Amino acid sequence: MQITFLGTSAGVPTRARNVSGVALRLPQRGETWLFDCGEGTQHQLQRTPIKISQITRIFITHLHGDHLFGLMGLLATCGLAGQGQEIHLYGPDGLEEYVRVCSRISRTTLSETLKIQTVEPGLVHHEEDFSVTCQPLKHRIPSFGYRVTERDRPGKFDVERAHALGIPPGPLYARLKNGERVELPDGRVVEGRELVGATLAGRSVVYCTDTIYCRGAVALSEGADALIHEATFAAEDEPLAVQSMHSTTVMAARVASEARVRQLFITHFSPRYTPDAQVTPEELLAQARAVFPRTDMARDLMTFEVPWRE
Which residues are identified as catalytic? 66
Q: Are 37 and 74 in contact (CB under 8 A)?
A: yes
Contact 34, 22 (CB under 8 A): yes
Phi, psi for residue 235 in degrees, rounded to 5: -60, -40
CA dist., res. 154 & res. 140, Å (int): 43
- What is d(CA 198, CA 16) in angstroms, rounded to the nearest whole number? 43
| Residues 52 and 74: beta-carbon distance below 8 Å | yes
Whether cis (ω within 30° of 0) applies to the bond prior to 210 is yes
Q: In whole angstroms, what is the distance from residue 212 CA to residue 222 CA?
A: 17
> 60: closest CA among 41, 86, 39, 34?
34
Which amino acid appears at position 272 of this protein?
R
